[in-house]
Amino acid sequence: KAVVPFVGREVPIIGDEDVDLEFGTGALKVTPAHDMNDYKLGMKHDLEFIKIMNKDGTLNGVSGKYAGLDRFKARDKIWEDMVACGMSIKTEEYETRVPKSQRGGGGIEPMLSGQ
């Protein structure tokens, strides 16, 4: 198991043949409630589906001290905190695989919801 920094939640470490070993380090965090590919991995490996985002794009109470922050501000703040704690090794530019909206071009933030 690993511990999620700043919230102290334990998460399992799994192996899966669908992970692209050529992209980045070959390791990835899995967020089944907020990513379509991760959803499939979550179902396959019986992972916990934890929703961290509100419908307005702010983080909810399971996000610890980042609760209430807009998702973009929260990402910046988490990175700042990781650097301050010595958790970052290096920064590297890369092209993300975040799906984009056809209409507006913005990133799509999937989340579980009742239909």
pLDDT digits (tens, 9 = 90+) for 40-58: 999 999 999 999 999 898 9
Model pLDDT for residues 15-27, shown as the tens digit of each residue:
888 887 777 777 7
Mean pLDDT (the chain, rounded): 86
Q: Which residues pair with 11 in a beta bridge?
A: 2
Give the integer Cα–Cα distance in Å for 24 and 94: 8
Mean pLDDT over residues 64-68, rounded? Answer: 96
pLDDT at 97: 67
- Within a 10 A sphere around the Cβ of 69, how many other Cβ atoms? 17
